[in-house]
Structure 1
C-alpha cells in the first residue's frame, strides 16, 4: 500500500504542484485565472534553483497548490451558473414550463389588460410555439429559441414564415434585448397567433 509522505521534499512537492496545475479544470477557466496560473507555474519552475531551503520550498509549493485549488473552485461555481443561464438564454419555453397554449394565451390577455405589454408579448409568442407543439407541427423541444421556432414553423407552414420571424424578433428584443413593448407590439403578436392557428400544412403533391 502506497503511503503519501506527510512532508514531501522540494522536488516531489514541485512535481505535485505542476501536475495539479496541469489539470484541465483549471485550463477551462479563462482570462484572469489563466494569467494567475501562468504566473504560478513560472514561480514553481523558478524553485528549481537553490533560492530556498528544501523544506521551506516544499511548504511554499504545497501552500500555493492549496490557494490555487481554492481560487479555482471559487471561480468555477459562478462560471457553471453563468453557463447554465447562457444555455437558457434565448429560449422561448423552458423545460419546467408545462402550461398549455390556452393557459399562455390567458396569461397574455391578462397582462395586456393591465397594461403589461412586455409580458403580454412574451406569453403570446410562447402560446404560439406551444400551440404548434400541441398540433405536432413542431416537436416538443425545451430551450428552442425564437429564431429556431420561426425557422422550423416556416418550413411546415410557409404562409406564416415571415410573420413568425417578425414575432420572434419582437420576442427576443423585448425579453432578451430589454426593449419596451407597447400596444402595437401586442396587436402584432395577437395577429400572429390568429394567423398561425388558422394556417395549415400544404398538401404534398402526388407524384
Structure 2
C-alpha cells in the first residue's frame, strides 16, 4: 500500500473518503497558523531584539570567561578591578572640564571707556555679582592703560596678553597683573566663582596703576662720525 494522500476524515458508511494533497494541506495549515489568535502572546519586535542582544552578550561573556583564568569568577574579578580603578581615578582627578582652544578676547565688540567699565563693575559688586564685577574691573584696568598710551589698543587682546604687555612699562606690578589676568580667565571660561576678596584685589590694583609711573625704555642714538678738518686740509 503506497503512502499517497491520506483521508481527511474517516469514512462513514458508503461516503467516499475526502482526500487532500500535501502541498494544499501545508498551505492550509500555514494560513490557519497565521491567524492573529495564535500570536496574541508572541513577544514584540523590541522584545525579540533585546533577547537576541542578551543572547549575544551571554555568548560573548561565556567566550571571555573560557579564555580567562578562573572562568566566570576570574572575569568578574577583572571587571570589578577595572571599575574600581576608574572610580579611583575619577575621585583623584575629578570630572574633566572642557577647556577652550584659545582664551576669549578681553573686550566685547562695543568699546567702552575705563570709567564705564569701573561703573559697571561697581554696579555688579553692589549686587554681589562677583564674577561680572571681576570681569569689568579687569577691563577697566586694561582700558585705562590704553587711555594712558601705556598699551596700544588692540582688538581681540586676551587678559594674559594684556598683563604681559602692561608688565613692560610697569614691571613693579608684574605679579599682580598676572594674578588679575588669571582671575579674569578663571571666571570667564574656567568655570570658577569669584568672591568679594578677588574683586577688591583688582580694584586696589586699578587704583595703584593709576598712580604708577611707567618705566620708559631708553632711547638708543647712533653716533655719526664726520671727517676731521685735518683730513680735509690734507686732501686739499
Please classify the TM superposition score into its range, dividing by the shorter chain length. 0.5 to 0.7
Shift of 1:201: 1.1
Write the mapping of 1:30-179 to structure 2, written as runs, cut at 5 A. 89-94=103-108, 96-179=109-192
User: In 2, distance between residues paired with 1:206 and 1:133?
Assistant: 21
Shift of 1:97: 2.4
Shift of 1:155: 0.6
Q: 1:206 to 1:140 in 2, by over 3 A?
A: closer
> Contact between 2:169 and 2:216, CA under 8 Å: does it hold in 1?
no
> Contact between 1:111 and 1:119, CA under 8 Å: does it hold in 2?
yes
User: In 2, distance between residues paired with 1:180 and 1:170?
Assistant: 9
> Contact between 1:160 and 1:195, CA under 8 Å: does it hold in 2?
no
Tell me, which stretches of 5 or more residues in structure 2 are unaligned?
1-99, 221-236
Q: TM-score, normalised by structure 1?
A: 0.55
User: In 2, distance between residues paired with 1:110 and 1:170?
Assistant: 19
Listed one character per residue, the Cα deviations across residues 87-120 of structure 1 (whole Å, up to 9, x for unaligned) are 7x421113x2211000000000000001101100
Counterpart of 1:183 (choices 196, 207, 218) is 196
Q: 1:183 to 1:161 in 2, by over 3 A?
A: same
Listed one character per residue, the Cα deviations across residues 131-184 of structure 1 (whole Å, up to 9, x for unaligned) are 111111001101111110010000111111111000000000011101011111
User: In 1, distance between residues paired with 2:203 and 2:130?
Assistant: 12
Tell me, which stretches of 5 or more residues in structure 1 are unaligned?
1-84
User: In 2, distance between residues paired with 1:139 and 1:205?
Assistant: 19
Partner of 1:11: none
- Structure with greater proportional helix content: 1
Count of aligned pairs: 121
Larger relative contact order (CA 8 Å, sep ≥ 6): 1
Q: TM-score, normalised by structure 2?
A: 0.48
